[in-house]
Amino acid sequence: MPSARAIPTAALLSTATLLACSLASCAPAARDGDRRAHGGTASGRQDEAPFRGQTLNWKDCPAPSPVQGGGEAPAPLPDGTRWQCATLRAPLDWKKPSGESTGIALIRARAGGDRADRIGSLLFNFGGPGGSGVAALPGLAPDYEKLRSRYDLVSFDPRGVGDSQGVRCLDADAAEQAEAETDDTPDDGGDETAALVEFNRLTAAACARNSGAVLPHVGTTAAARDMDLIRHVLGDEKLHYFGVSYGTELGGVYAHLFPDKVGRAVLDGVVDPTRDMMAEALGQAGGFQLAYEHFAAWCVQQRCTLGEDTEAIVETAVALAADLDEAPLPTSNGGELGGDELVDAISGSLYSQSFWPALLVGLEALTQGDGDVLLDLAQSLGQHGAGGDTADDTGTDTDTDESNEDDAFRAITCADSSSRYPVAEVRRRLPEFIRTSPLFGPGLAWTALTCSGWPVPGEAEHPDVSAPGAPPVLLVGNTGDPATPYEGAARMAERLGEDVGVTLTYRGEGHGAFDGGNGCVRDAVHAYLLDGELPERGAVCEQDPLPPGK
């Protein structure tokens, strides 16, 4: 199933995360009373002083740990700059800074230009939530090399993620077995639904057993406070920030808490901060449906064999998924393609238009009884189950058997969102989801059960991102974005406040815009982050045409 907050740009998430990501834009910020109590200024409370006075011990980065996803140590950049890693100490509970502390894993590459031109640090969050920023940034560094002319590039594992006291729930074998026994879209009204409920119960119990001490403290509000501590310890007067997908929500919460500390900030693939968990899932069903219709229209232009028009191609996919639910198709490698895997392959392919040609080939092959291509897409763009290998955007396989990405996603989402839905409510809303998208709607509706039985209460239905007095924040909204639909940018701009949110529209496909390589978007982002020049209000960038698929 699709991800609401998004597959991180650096590494596509596993299907377990894709199933739940529709829940993700519900992370709350502290209420006004909390903001006053915790302090929204650079000085902070007196008992925070030891954390603000710390010195980071930067060293050459090792290989990402298994919980970060594994892989090789990051290679030096072309100019010889080496990646440096450090651990920041932060209060485990920001309400009690004198209590226990936790470690926040950091990575940076120093600015490569004239030090006199250096603006400061540029902090990244690539989405999820749950993705390791320490593991992700080196792979994405080529996209941000121009920004490194004036910034140190910095990212981090948010609390509960990777090496920042990563949350652990079911072990890989138990999770894989439970996933195999669970239907993502139960339709029997009995055993299948009970199995999904039981899977969520087992996962919640395992999270409480293995990570109970940190579960109350992994929400977005705490992560935003960590970001201000990072800013302070790095020596920056303002936080310069680049957030993608869930990272846009984290950026909005930071702006709410610390409006006077916002520097130059870009939010790309913008989460709608006005929706609760169920509304977010429904909105995303519409986003993926629209994106698939755009694919179908392109398919017609390619004279594909899936149908004579967009409507017919949509109906073809729905029929194929239903048939595969009834009778999964064996593949040549000994696997099988079921309805869930088909939806995984399609939804994963909609994150980037560059995947469309492969999706077209796979769907046409499926109509001829060959599911190999689509199963490969499902496994590489969103591995079904908790373990296995996933491929990042460069095509490099990453061992994720021990990654805690899915566990962290669930823990952060459920710490943020106060929404808890019974099975009866999902069933009541299911027809609305099916009307919105017969292909993606059912699976997204059932993700609303993700936080049922969670051992920690969530903070709020949706985040507070109001930031009166903050400087302009550049929001990049993509009209074809499946995971964070375009209207989220306008709603984020409205909630940030008058003269704060400045929206750049990208008429394109895929999730987010900057990492798609569009020259117009990149020029606008570079102009703001490097020179402080915002695009004109109402500015629009057009996507480059996709080469023919056949």
Annotated catalytic residues are: 245, 481, 511
CA separation, residue 424 to residues 109, 182, 269, 418, 488 (Å): 50, 18, 32, 18, 28
- Residue ranges with strand state E in 441-495: 473-480
Q: Report the alpha-carbon distance of residue 359 to residue 374 in Å, rounded.
A: 7
Phi, psi (rounded to 5 degrees) for 12: -65, 140
Of 348, 385, 344, nearest to 16 by C-alpha is 385
Of 27, 404, 442, nearest to 245 by C-alpha is 27
Of 509, 503, 482, 522, nearest to 7 by C-alpha is 482
Q: How far is CA 399 from the centre of its chain?
A: 19
Q: Are 133 and 9 in contact (CB under 8 A)?
A: no
User: What does the angle CA 418 – CA 248 – CA 271 come to, to the nearest 5 degrees?
Assistant: 60
Give bridge partners of residue 337 from the DSSP assignment.
329
Q: Report the alpha-carbon distance of residue 267 to residue 271 in Å, rounded.
A: 9
Phi, psi (rounded to 5 degrees) for 108: -150, 155
Q: Are 428 and 189 in contact (CB under 8 A)?
A: no
DSSP alpha helix (H) spans, 264-404: 277-301, 310-326, 339-349, 356-367, 372-381
Question: In sequence order, what are the residues at sequence separation of 6 or more whose Cβ sits closer than 8 angstroms to the Cβ of residue 460?
Answer: 26, 28, 29, 31, 416, 417, 418
Report which secondary-structure segment, H or E, holds 267. Answer: strand 262-268
Report which secondary-structure segment, H or E, holds 416. Answer: helix 405-416
Contacts 24+ apart (CB under 8 A), 497-500: 497/466, 497/467, 497/468, 497/469, 497/470, 499/472, 500/255, 500/467, 500/468, 500/470, 500/471, 500/472, 500/473
Report which secondary-structure segment, H or E, holds 542. Answer: strand 540-542
What are the structure tokens assigned to 421, written together? 């839905």
Q: Report the alpha-carbon distance of residue 348 to residue 325 in Å, rounded.
A: 19
- Residue ranges with strand state E in 75-215: 84-91, 101-109, 120-125, 151-156
Q: How many residues does the chain have?
A: 550
Of 390, 313, 394, 349, nearest to 546 by C-alpha is 349
